[in-house]
Amino acid sequence: MGLLATRSLISPLPVVIALQVVAILLSLWARITFGRRSFHLAANPTSGGLVTSGPYRFIRHPIYTSVCLFCASGIAAHWSSSAALLALAVALGAMLRINSEEALLPELYPEYREYAKRTWRMVPFVF
């Protein structure tokens, strides 16, 4: 909301629009693959089986990845120290949720450890 309020999120630049469209499509693909499970405010895993298809075949957290990509694209087009701080807040929030979920997932899904060994958290070949 802060990025939107400071007009640091949306840009008319074609490359930013393209990256944000990719982010939206990734998020939709992940959400459809994840199924009818609801999004929880707390970072607790849902029952129903470990999802390893769709974008989850490549990265463990495609929805967080898409949020970070969407925000980073807008910030790159509207660089400022306040936008950078807001982007840092988004990234830190995503990392906190990822760490919380990854601490809880092996308890519910023992196969998660093996899955985590063969997939990337957010960016293939990087992180």
What are the Cα distances from residue 113, in Å, to 33, 35, 80?
A: 20, 22, 39
Cβ pair 43, 104 in contact under 8 A: yes
Asked whether residue 83 carries a pLDDT value surpassing 90, the answer given is: no
Asked whether residue 115 carries a pLDDT value surpassing 70, the answer given is: yes
User: What is the mean predicted confidence (pLDDT) over 96-118?
Assistant: 92
Q: Is residue 123 situated within a structural domain?
A: no
Q: Is residue 10 situated within a structural domain?
A: yes
**81 half-sphere exposure, CB direction, 13 A CA radius:** 0
Return the exposure string of 24-60: e unless at least 16 CB atoms fall within 10 Å of the residue's CB, then b: eebbebbbeebeeeeeeeeeebeeeeebbebbbeebb
Q: What angle do CA 39, 45, 49 make, to 5 degrees?
A: 105
Determine the 3-state secondary structure of 55 from DSSP: helix
Q: Is residue 125 situated within a structural domain?
A: no
Q: Is residue 124 situated within a structural domain?
A: no
Q: Which of 30, 46, 2 is nearest to 122 (CA)?
A: 30
Asked whether residue 96 carries a pLDDT value surpassing 90, the answer given is: yes
Residue 22 tokens, joined:
């990719």
Asked whether residue 33 carries a pLDDT value surpassing 60, the answer given is: yes
More confident residue, 45 or 83: 83
Asked whether residue 52 carries a pLDDT value surpassing 70, the answer given is: yes
Q: Is residue 7 situated within a structural domain?
A: yes
Specify the pLDDT at position 39: 62
Q: Is residue 42 situated within a structural domain?
A: no
Backbone angles phi, psi at 37, to 5 degrees: -65, 145
Q: Is residue 113 situated within a structural domain?
A: yes
Total structural domains within the chain: 1
Range of the domain at 78: 2-34+49-118
